[in-house]
Amino acid sequence: MPRSARYAVGRGIEYLSVLALALVINFVLPRALPGGPLKTLGGGENVGVLSTEDQQRILAEYGLDKSLGEQFLTYLANLLTLDLGKSFADGQPVLDVIVEALPWTMLLVGSSIVLTFLIGVTLGAFGGLRRKQGKGSGLLASALLFDSIPSFWLGMVLIAVFGAFLGLLPTFGVGEGWDDPAGLPRHLLLPVATLTLTGLGQFFLVTRSSMLAVLSSDHIEHARARGVPRARLVRKHALRTALLPVHTVLMIEVGFLVGGALVVETVFAYPGLGRVTFNAIQARDFPLMQATFLVLTVAVVVMNAVADATYALIDPRIRTGAAS
């Protein structure tokens, strides 16, 4: 078997193993939380008011009276048919809830990742070039500062300043949503800014570090010795090579931003997967929690797989190595 095929099979097995472990965690984690879904299933009544018979009847109705092993096998069997169950809170099919919320999260994360990548890489490359001149410490300090700020704290600061104090921007929801394409960007501005500012530090640091390593490499020194103009040296030789590790960070960051959006969406009452997950955790809504956790896990795994599959496209050395 060719080496490239063996590599692909090996990576495929690794990803399947991660997904298998994720399925177990997705099933166990909701049931490991304190409390339970009885209050939600009982229509909001105090669990202590329900008789033992009523509690058992409710649990049996939703299959929660079975052993964990039986519940897990049922969960796996339903997944094979894309049956994610119904929400404990309102009886709505979980798949419908995910389909409704996912486009909002994709819009938020997609806008944030584009801005995070462009700003982080540009400043990182500039910081790497300035570092060679003994400058750029201000950019580094700013990047470290934003990288260390919790997203929920920054979100609340932006709400207080631009919403409550200045009254310039809306601070929650999406207004009329898709029906108001003119007003939607104003509602997106603060949550997108929060995700972008707290995420660009990683791109800045990776790009800066990679740029410094490339600028001191032999092939850059040779190009400089041949009299290659500085602008061309940076653009054609240094930057392209420096972006290789940034490509991996970009793919992984897309997956993690979907998870990071949970906090931001909750702060801004944004109708995406993060908000759905928060509400599901509060209600101990097992089917909805399992579904949202699974989407977040699959997003991270898929973006890692995309990073593996596309890395060879931008690094000719990998293609050459695979061919040999």
Vertex 179 angle, CA 187 and 258, to 5° = 50
Three-class SS state of 150: coil
Phi and psi at 51, nearest 5°, equal: -75, 165
Architecture per CATH, 101-283: Orthogonal Bundle (1.10)
For the chain, which residues make up each domain, given as ranges? 3-80, 101-283
Q: Which residues pair with 93 in a beta bridge?
A: 86
Alpha-carbon radius of gyration of the chain? 24
The upper half-sphere exposure of residue 146, i.e. CA atoms within 13 Å in the direction of its Cβ, equals: 22
* pLDDT by position in tens, the chain (length 324): 666 677 677 778 888 888 888 888 888 888 887 777 776 776 655 655 667 777 788 778 778 888 888 888 988 888 888 888 888 888 888 899 898 888 888 888 888 888 988 888 888 878 777 765 555 677 778 888 887 888 888 889 999 999 888 888 888 888 777 777 777 888 889 999 998 888 888 888 888 887 777 777 777 767 677 776 766 767 666 776 777 777 777 776 776 676 667 888 888 888 888 888 888 888 888 888 888 888 888 877 887 777 777 766 665 555 544 444
pLDDT of residue 255: 64
Q: Could you tell me which of 211, 214, 309, 307 has the C-alpha nearest to residue 253?
A: 307
The upper half-sphere exposure of residue 66, i.e. CA atoms within 13 Å in the direction of its Cβ, equals: 11
Q: Which residues pair with 119 in a beta bridge?
A: none
Who's near 190: CB < 8 A, 6+ residues apart?
155, 158, 159, 162, 163, 169, 170, 171, 268
